[in-house]
Amino acid sequence: MSMTSESDDRMTSNVGVDSPSVEEACGGGNTGGGLPLKKGPWTSAEDAILVDYVTKHGEGNWNAVQKHSGLARCGKSCRLRWANHLRPDLKKGAFTPEEERRIIELHAKMGNKWARMAADLPGRTDNEIKNYWNTRIKRRQRAGLPVYPPDICFQAISENKQNEELGAFSSTDAQYPDFLPMNNYEIPAVEFKNLEFNQQLCPPPLLDIPSGSLLDIPARSLLAQGLNSAYYSRSFLSTVHPTKRMRGSESVFSGLNDDSSPLKNNDSFPSCHQYQNDGSLLAQSLGFSSSYYRNLTSDHHPTSLGVIPGSHAHLNGNSSSSEPSRAKKLELPSLQSQMASWGLSSSPLPSLESVDTLIQSPPTDQTESCNLSPRNSGLLDAVLYEAQTMRASKNNLQQESSDDVVDNSCPDLHETGWETYGDPISPLGHSAASVFSEYTPTSGSSSEEPQLLTMPGCKVKQEKFDFGPYDGKEDASNPIFSRPDYLLDSNCFSPMQNYVRTIWR
DNA sequence: AATATCTGCAACCGCAGGTCG
DNA sequence: TCGACCTGCGGTTGCAGATAT
C-alpha cells in the first residue's frame, strides 16, 4: 500500500488535522507556530518536502523539519516517515527467505526487539519487521503451528549447550550483550515481559489467555534457562518434594495456593498431572504444537474451557492485551514479578515447573506421590531435565529419583512411555500416543490423511505435525523433536538438527 | 454484483531514556 | 537536581485492498 501514490487531494481531505492530543504525542506541543499539524497518510508532496529537507540538512532535529520546511507534520511523524519509507537505503519489497529466517532467528534470541532486529537486517525497518512478525504470528497461531522452527530451537539449545560447556556467553550473547545477560540465574526482563501463556504452549482448555503470549518470549530464553547443569543439579535433579518446591512459589504467588485457591480444586482439572507427563506438551514447550492435541483436550475437558482461576490470566490481573503499556510495565504479571524476584537470590531458582505446576495442575495426591521429578512439569524445564537425565542415565539416576518416571534410556520410548503415561482416558494419553506413534518410523504415517491409531484402550487420530515455516508445505510430520533426549543429547543432536533443517526448508 | 470478512501495512500513541540549560 | 525537549522504541489502531460468501 503506497499512500504516497494516492491522490493528494483525497488524502488531504481525509486526513484530519492535528488535535491537542497529537501535539502531545508529537513531542511537547510543537504546533509549528500555530500551523495545525496533519495526521494520517503522507502525500507525495509532503514526502518530497521531507526528502528535500533531509537531503539538505540531514537527519535529526525533526521538529526543526516541521518548523523550517513548512510541513504540517510533527517531528515525530517526519522521523517515522523518513525512517520507514523515504530513507534511500531502504529495501523495498517482500522479505526474502533469508531475511525471513534471519528474523525468526533474531526473534528467538531477542524477542520483540524490532529495532535491534532491524539493525541486523540492512534496509529493513523495525516497523516492517514488527508487522511481518505479527502477521506471521497471527497466521501461525491460526494454523496451530509453532512459531519457531524446530531447528531454530535447536540452534538456541545448541548455543546454550556451548555456553554451558564453555562457561561463557555465546557469540550471540557477545553480539547482543546488553539484553542477553544470560547467566545461570539471571533472567532478562525482556524475556518475560510478555509472559502470557498461549495456546501454543499451554493446553487451551486449561488456559484462555488473550493474545500476546509466551510466543513473545524468545525461544532462546526459555531454552537457556534450563540448560545449566548446575541449576538442574541443584533444583531439578534433587528429589525435592514437589509440594515443597511449590511452597517456594507460594511465597511469591501469594494467594494462589492458599486454601481458597481454586488451584487446589482438583476436580476442576481432571488428570491435569498427566499433562505434565505428556510428550506432546513437551513438544509444545518448544513450540511444536499439535492442533489435534488441542482438539482432544478440548473435547475431553469441556468444563475447563474458561480461564483457570489462578492461571496467568488471573495472575496477571491484566487480561486485556490492549491495556496501556504503562500499566503492563508497572503492574508486572505475577510471573514476571516472580522472575524478577528470583534474580540472584541464594535460593534455587524456581523452575518453570513451578509456574507450570501452579497453572496447570493443582497439587493432588497423585502428583504428590508420584511426580517427584521435574519432568512432570511438562514444560521446557521438563525437556531439559530429561536431557540432563539422559546424560546421567549411565548412572541410572533417573530410576533412583522416581519409580514413576519414564526410562529415557529405553530406545522404545514410544512404547514404554505410552504404556507408562498413556492414560487411555486422559486426552494427554491420547496425545502422547499420537506423538510417540508418529515418531515411530514404521508407523506408516506417510499419508497426508489423518490416521486412526489404535492404542490400548483408545483410538487416536493421527495428525500431521506441520512445522512448515510459512506455507505449511513441508512434510514435517515426524515429531521426533518432542523427544527430549533427541533434543539435547549431544550424540544425536547434529543429525537431528540436520534432519530438522531438511524437513523445514 | 453486492456484501461481509480477512489481511497487511502505514501511521499513531504513549512511554522511556538521554541531553541540555 | 530538575524540568523541558528530543529521539527512539514497542504496542496498537485504522484503513484500503484482497478474498470469501
Q: Which of residues 32-61 of A touch strand C (CB under 7 A)?
A: 60-61
Mean pLDDT rounded to a whole number for chain A: 47
Q: Say which nucleotide is closest to residue A64, CA to C1' distance.
A: C6
Q: Say which nucleotide is closest to residue A110, CA to C1' distance.
A: C10
Find and give the residue nearest to C4, measured CA to C1': A28
Bridging pattern class, strands A451-455 and A458-462: antiparallel
Read off the pLDDT band of A354 (50, 70, 90): very low
Strand B: which nucleotides have any atom within 7 A of a protein Cβ? 7-16
A433 touches strand B (CB under 7 A): no
Question: CA-to-C1' distance for A1 and B8, Å?
Answer: 9
Residues 6+ apart with CB under 8 A from A65: A50, A53, A54, A57, A71, A73, A75, A78
pLDDT at A149: 73
A67 touches strand C (CB under 7 A): no
| Amino acid at residue number A391 | R
Query: Counting beta carbons within 10 angstroms of the beta carbon of residue A312, is it exposed (0 to 12), middle (13 to 18) or buried (19 or more)?
Result: buried
In the 3-class helix/strand/coil scheme, how is A394-438 assigned residue by residue? HHCHHHHHCCCCCCCCCCCHHHHHHHHHCCCCCHHHHHHHHHHHH
Read off the pLDDT band of A67 (50, 70, 90): confident
Q: pLDDT for A9-22, tens place per residue?
A: 333 333 334 333 34
Question: CA-to-C1' distance for A139 and B4, Å?
Answer: 20
A450 touches strand B (CB under 7 A): no
Residue A179 has φ and ψ, to the nearest 5°, of -115, 10
CA atoms of A482 and A286, how far apart (whole Å): 8
Three cell numbers, residue A462: 493421527
A60 touches strand B (CB under 7 A): no
Report the Cα A218 to chain-centroid distance in Å.
Answer: 6
Region for residue A40 given its phi and psi (left: phi exceeds 0; alpha: psi -120 to 50; beta: otherwise): left
Q: Say which nucleotide is closest to residue A190, CA to C1' distance.
A: C10
Question: CA-to-C1' distance for A428 and C13, Å?
Answer: 40
Question: CA-to-C1' distance for A76 and C8, Å?
Answer: 10
Is the pLDDT assigned to residue A53 strictly greater than 60?
yes
A63 touches strand C (CB under 7 A): yes
A112 and A145 in contact (C-beta within 8 Å)?
no
Question: CA-to-C1' distance for A240 and B6, Å?
Answer: 51
Question: CA-to-C1' distance for A109 and B17, Å?
Answer: 23
pTM of model > 0.75: no
Q: pLDDT for A410-444, tens place per residue?
A: 333 333 332 333 333 233 333 333 323 333 333 33
| Cβ atoms within 10 Å, residue A477 | 20
pLDDT at A163: 59
Looking at the DSSP assignment, which residues form a beta bridge with residue A37? Answer: none
Q: pLDDT for A257-316, tens place per residue?
A: 333 333 333 333 333 333 333 333 333 333 333 333 333 333 333 333 333 333 333 333
A323 touches strand C (CB under 7 A): yes
Task: List the domains of chain A with CATH numbers.
Answer: 38-88 (1.10.10.60), 92-163 (1.10.10.60)
Q: Say which nucleotide is closest to residue A111, CA to C1' distance.
A: C10
Residues 6+ apart with CB under 8 A from A36: A17, A18, A72
Three cell numbers, residue A323: 491495556
